[in-house]
Structure 1
Amino acid sequence: MSVEAARLVRVPSHGYAQLLGLTPEHLNDDQCRIPSATGLRLAELTARHVSWPEQAMLLVQQSKLGALGVWDYLITAAPTPLEGIHDAADYFATVADVSTDRLEIAVDGGLVTISHLNQADMDHEAACAIRAYGLGLYRQRLSEAARRNLIPVKVTLAAKAPRCHDLLIELYGTRAITFEAPTSTITFLTADLTTPTVHAQPGLSTLLRRHADQTLATAIPLHSWLDLFRTTLSSVYDEATPTLGVVAQRMNLSVRTLQRRLSEHGSTWNGEIETLRRDHVTELLLHTTLSVDAIAARTGYADARTVHRAVQRWHGTTPITLRRTGLRS
Structure 2
Amino acid sequence: MSDASAPATSPGTSRSTSATIAPNILRYLARVAHGYDVDLQPLLARVGLDSTVMTSTALRVSYRQGSDVIRQAVERTGDEHLGLRVGAAQHLTAWGLLGFAMMAADTQQEAIETGVRYQNLSGAMTVWSARWEEAGYVLRTDLPDPALDPTAAVFLIEEAYSSVVTLIRLNVGASFAPQAMEFAFPAPRDRSPFEELFRCPVRFDAAGNRMVIPTRWARAPMPGRDPITYASMLDVLDTEMASRRSQQDLLEVLEISIAQSLPAVPSFLEQARRHASSERTLRRRLAACGTTYEAIVDGVRRERAEQLLRRPELTLRDIARRAGFADVSALRRAVRRWHGATPLELRTELLEREAPSDRQRV
Shorter-chain TM band = 0.5 to 0.7
Letter in 1 for 2:233: L
Secondary structure of 1:52's match? coil
- Name the residue aligned to 1:287: none
Could you tell me which runs of 5 or more consecutive residues in structure 2 were left unpaired when the two chains were aligned: 1-20, 34-38, 248-287, 305-319, 348-362
| Contact 2:22–2:61, Cα closer than 8 Å, also in 1 | yes
> How far has the Cα of 1:50 moved from its partner?
2.6
Distance (Å, rounded) in 2 between the aligned partners of 1:197 and 1:70: 17
Q: Does 1:141 align with 2:167?
A: yes
| Contact 1:36–1:96, Cα closer than 8 Å, also in 2 | no
> How far has the Cα of 1:97 moved from its partner?
6.0
Q: Does 1:51 align with 2:79?
A: yes
Q: Does 1:27 align with 2:54?
A: yes
- Name the residue aligned to 2:233: 208
Larger Cα Rg: Structure 1 or Structure 2? 1
Letter in 2 for 1:28: T
- Name the residue aligned to 2:326: 242
Give the aligned length.
258
Task: Quickly say closer, same or farther: Cα 1:184–1:222, change in 2 above 3 A.
Answer: farther
Over the aligned positions, Cα root-mean-square deviation in angstroms equals 3.3
- Name the residue aligned to 2:311: none
State how 1:1-329 maps to structure 2 within 5 Å: 1-11=21-31, 12=33, 14-15=40-41, 16-48=43-75, 49-53=77-81, 55-96=82-123, 101-108=126-133, 111-118=136-143, 119-120=145-146, 124-174=150-200, 176-216=201-241, 217=243, 220-222=288-290, 227-230=296-299, 242-245=326-329, 247=330, 257-264=333-340
TM (norm. structure 2) is: 0.62
Distance (Å, rounded) in 2 between the aligned partners of 1:123 and 1:232: 19
Task: Quickly say closer, same or farther: Cα 1:211–1:264, change in 2 above 3 A.
Answer: farther
Task: Quickly say closer, same or farther: Cα 1:25–1:212, change in 2 above 3 A.
Answer: farther
- Name the residue aligned to 2:12: none
Task: Quickly say closer, same or farther: Cα 1:221–1:214, change in 2 above 3 A.
Answer: same
> How far has the Cα of 1:123 moved from its partner?
7.5
Identify the range of structure 1 (116-125 vs 7-16) with the bigger mean alpha-carbon deviation: 116-125
Q: Higher relative contact order at CA 8 Å, sep ≥6: structure 1 or structure 2? A: 2
| Contact 2:23–2:123, Cα closer than 8 Å, also in 1 | no
Secondary structure of 1:107's match? strand
> How far has the Cα of 1:155 moved from its partner?
0.2
> How far has the Cα of 1:19 moved from its partner?
1.1
Task: Quickly say closer, same or farther: Cα 1:19–1:115, change in 2 above 3 A.
Answer: same
Identify the range of structure 1 (21-30 vs 121-130) with the bigger mean alpha-carbon deviation: 121-130
Secondary structure of 2:94's match? coil
Letter in 1 for 2:211: I
Q: Which string of whole-angstrom CA distances, capped at 9 and with x for unpartnered residues, describes residues 206-247 of structure 1?
A: 22223323444267445699854255689x969x873144x4
| Contact 1:76–1:141, Cα closer than 8 Å, also in 2 | no
| Contact 1:92–1:103, Cα closer than 8 Å, also in 2 | yes
TM (norm. structure 1) is: 0.68
Task: Quickly say closer, same or farther: Cα 1:231–1:207, change in 2 above 3 A.
Answer: same
- Name the residue aligned to 1:313: none
> How far has the Cα of 1:190 moved from its partner?
1.9
Task: Quickly say closer, same or farther: Cα 1:204–1:41, change in 2 above 3 A.
Answer: same
Distance (Å, rounded) in 1 between the aligned partners of 2:220 and 2:325: 65
Distance (Å, rounded) in 1 between the aligned partners of 2:335 and 2:149: 26
